[in-house]
Chains A and B, each alone.
Chain A
Amino acid sequence: MAQENSFLLKIRNLHTYFFTDEGVAKAVDGVDLELEEKGTLGLVGESGCGKSVTALSIMRLIPDPPGKIVQGEVIFGGVNLLSLTEGEMRKVRGRSISMIFQEPMTSLNPVFQIGDQISEVLRLHEGLSKKEAWNRSIEMLRMVGIPSPERRVAEYPHQLSGGMRQRAMIAMALACRPKLMIADEPTTALDVTIQAQILELINRLQKETGMSVILITHNLGVIAETAQKVAVMYAGRIVEYAPVRPLFVAPRHPYTQGLLKSIPRLDEGHARKQRLEAIPGLVPSLLDLPPGCKFSNRCKYVMDKCQAEPPLKEIDPGHFVRCWLYE
C-alpha cells in the first residue's frame, strides 16, 4: 500500500440508497476506492451497477429525496466531503472536482453563449472580471482544440457539433484547473472517430495539467486504452479492482471474465466467426437481488458457499477480487 498522503481521493464503505415506493434500491452498497494523484481510474459496469451513483456521491449530487448517502466517507485532499456544509461543498464543485457528462447538449445551457458558461465558473471561483473571464474562456477553448475559439466563444450550444460540445464541456470543467475530473460516459454519445479525438484530448490534458481522472464507461475498449486502474462494478459493489494490464490479461472474477468473453473483438489472432460466450440471465434489478454473492445467479462456477457474500480480497499485490473461488 502506498503512503496515505499520496492518495488524492479515498472512498470508504460508501452506501448510497434510493428510497422508492417499490423498496430500497441499494445503488451503491459498500464501495471502497482509492485514487492516486495524476492517476486514471476506470469505473466499468453495466446499467444499474452503481458506477454513476458512485460519481454523483463524490460530488454530493444525489437527488435527495429519494436518494441518500447513508454511510461512508469520501476523503478528498484530507477532507471528508460528506461532512461539509452545502456552502463549502459548492466551493469544491467545479473548482477542485469537476464533472463532464454523457450528453453535452443537456448539460450545457442552450440560452447562454459558450463563453458565458465558461466565464461563470471562473468568475464564481476565481473572482475574475467579466473581461478577464471571457479571455480565459477563449484560452480554454483553444486548449481543448476548438478551431477559431475567438468566434466559437460567442456561439450558442446548438451551433456546435456533438464533439465540439463535449470539448466545450471539458473546457468548462478544466477552467479552474481541478485536481480531479470525473468523466461519466464522456464519449458514449459520440461517433467512433470523434470518440478517439476526445479520449486523446483527455489523455493529453491530464499529462499537461497533472489532474486525476475517474472515467466511467461501459466500454471495455475505452477503459483498456485510457485507465491505469480499473474497478469493475456489479449490483452496487466492486467485484474486481486491479491495474489495467492484469485485469484484461488475467481477469479473475467470473463476471469480468464473462464480460471480456462476450464482446466481439476486432484485433487479429482472435478466432473469427466464433460463437460469443454470453453471460446467461439478466442484468439484475437492484430491488430484487439474490442473497450472498450478487452474481451467483448468473455465475457458471456457483457453489454452496456463494449463499454468503464474499469479501473483496487482495489475491495478488494490488489485485482485489470479490469471489469465493479465491479463498
Chain B
Amino acid sequence: MNKNDLLVEVKNLRKFFPVRTHFLSREKLFVQAVNNVSLTIKRGETLGLVGESGCGKSTLGRLILRLEEPTAGEIYFEGENILQFNAERLRQMRRQMQIIFQDPYSSLNPRKTVGSIIGEPLVIHKIGTKKEQEERVRHLMEVVGLRPEHINRYPHEFSGGQRQRIGIARALALNPKLIIADEPVSALDVSIQAQVLNLLEDLQNEFHLTYLFIAHDLSVVEHISDRVAVMHLGRIAELAKSTDLYSNPKHPYTQALLSANPIPDPTLARKRVILQGEVPSPINPPAGCNFHTRCPQRFEPCDKAIPELKEIEPDHWVACYLYS
C-alpha cells in the first residue's frame, strides 16, 4: 500500500492509568486501558471502533488526538510521529484533527452563544477577520442543517439532535482531515440518530473527511464504517472490513457481541451465544487471552500467552488461537 494512503498509523500503543485501591495501600495498580494496540486509518475511510464499556475505545481516540499522553508506543499522522511534537507544532497539528463528543449537553458551554461556540476554533487559530469568522460560522450552520439566524441563541434553546449538529459544526470549522466521533449518536433518540448519521455521511463525501467512529452499538458501527475494529479490555480482538466482520465474524467475542445485539424482527429465530459471567476488570485482566474467562470456545493455550493479532484472510485480522 502506498504510504500516502495512510492518514493515521498507531504502533504498539499503551496507556496505563495508575489507580490506588486504598489510600494507605503502597501497592501500585494500573488500569490497562489501551494495551499494545496497532492499527491504521486510511485517508477517506471510516474506521469503526466497537467494544463494551471500559474496553479502552474512547481512550484510544483521545490518545490519537494527544488529549492523553500514551505510556508507550508511536502515533503517526501523515507520516509524522506526533508524540515528538512540541506544544506549538501540536497546536498547528490539531487543526487537522477534531473530535465530536457523546453528550451534546455537557460538551457545549451553556454561557456561550452558538455562534461563539462554533467560531471558537477560528478565534483560537486566528483565522480570518471577525466578519469572515461570522460568515464562516453561518455557512457551517447551514452545512449541518441549523438555521443561520439562530447564531445568537444559547445551547439550552436547542434539542439534543440540534446540539449534536452544533458540535459537528464546531469540529468542521477548521476544515480538519480527521474527525474522531466518540459515541456521537448514542445519547440521541432513535429518529434523530438516523438524521445525524446521514449528516455525517454527507459531510464525509463533501469534505473528504476521515472518521474514527467510536460506538458500542454494533448496528450503527456496521452501517457507517468501512472497516471495524473490535476491542476487548484494551486490545484489538478482531479487525476486518465491515461486511466481512458482520457476515463472517471469527473471534468468539465478536460472535457473541453480534449474537447479543437484539434485532427488531420477531420472525427471526436466532441461536444466541449468551456469554456467562462478567466483563473482567481492566485493572487485573485475565492472563493469556483476556477473553478466555468468558469464551465458550477456550482450550489449552488460551490462558497461557496472549494471542497475536494475525491476518488470517486478506484484510481480516484476528487475535485468537482458534486460527493459528
Contact = CB atoms under 8 A, between A and B. Distances in A.
Interface in A266-295: 266-268, 272-273, 275-280, 282-283
Interface stretch (B80-88, B273-281, B311-319): B273-281
Given A264-B219, A266-B222, A221 B190 contact: no
Contacts of B267: 245, 248-249
Nearest to A276: B194
B189 A47 contact: yes
B190 A218 contact: yes
B260 A192 contact: yes
A163 B268 CA distance: 26
Contacts of B243: 272
A96 B16 CA distance: 49
B52 interface: yes
Contacts of A264: 194, 197, 219-220, 222-224
Interface in B261-288: 261-268, 272, 274-276, 278-279
B159 interface: yes
Interface in B149-185: 159, 161-162
Contacts of A258: 191
Given A193-B260, A219-B262, A282-B161, A266 B190 contact: no
B107 interface: no
B246 A266 contact: yes
B275 to A, nearest CB: 5
A262 B259 CA distance: 21
Contacts of B193: 262-263
B285 to A, nearest CB: 15
B52 A191 contact: yes
B220 A200 contact: no
Interface in B209-234: 216, 218-220, 222-224
Contacts of A277: 194
Contacts of B71: none
Most buried by B among A193, A221, A276: A193
A251 to B, nearest CB: 10
Interface in B184-204: 189-195, 197-198, 201
A278 B189 contact: no
A192 B201 CA distance: 25
Nearest to A266: B219
Contacts of B190: 46, 218, 220, 259, 262-263
B201 A225 contact: no
B171 to A, nearest CB: 20
A234 B275 CA distance: 35
B279 A191 contact: yes
Contacts of A268: 247
Q: State the main secondary structure of chain B at its contact with A.
A: helix
A197 interface: yes
Contacts of A82: none
A161 interface: yes
Most buried by A among B161, B195, B276: B195
Interface residues of A, number: 46
A183 interface: no
Contacts of B52: 191-193
A260 B256 CA distance: 24
B63 interface: no
Nearest to A248: B266
Contacts of A280: 195
A276 B223 contact: yes
Interface string A37-49: 0000000001100
A223 B265 CA distance: 9
Contact of B262 (A191, A197, A221, A245): A221
A280 B194 CA distance: 10
Given A275-B198, A278-B195, A192 B257 contact: yes
Contacts of B302: none
A260 B191 CA distance: 9
A56 to B, nearest CB: 20
A195 B161 CA distance: 26
B274 A196 contact: yes
B278 A164 contact: yes
Contacts of B197: 264, 276, 278
Contact of B191 (A192, A195, A279): A279
A105 interface: no
Given A191-B52, A191-B53, A225 B194 contact: no
Contact of A197 (B195, B220, B274): B274
Contacts of A47: 189
B20 to A, nearest CB: 16
B191 A283 contact: yes
Contacts of A279: 191, 194-195
Nearest to A267: B263
B189 A283 contact: yes
Contact of A265 (B161, B192, B264, B266): B264
A265 B275 contact: no
A224 interface: yes
Interface in B43-58: 52-53
A154 B136 CA distance: 60
B258 interface: yes
B278 A161 contact: yes
Contacts of A75: none
8 contacts: A258-B191, A265-B264, A267-B263, A267-B265, A267-B268, A268-B247, A278-B191, A282-B192
Lowest 5 A-B CB distances belong to which pairs? A221-B262, A264-B223, A262-B194, A278-B194, A196-B260
Given A264-B197, A265-B264, A279-B191, 10 more contacts: A46-B190, A161-B279, A191-B53, A192-B52, A218-B189, A263-B193, A264-B224, A273-B223, A275-B198, A275-B201
Interface of B: 52-53, 159, 161-162, 189-195, 197-198, 201, 216, 218-220, 222-224, 242-243, 246-247, 256-268, 272, 274-276, 278-279, 294
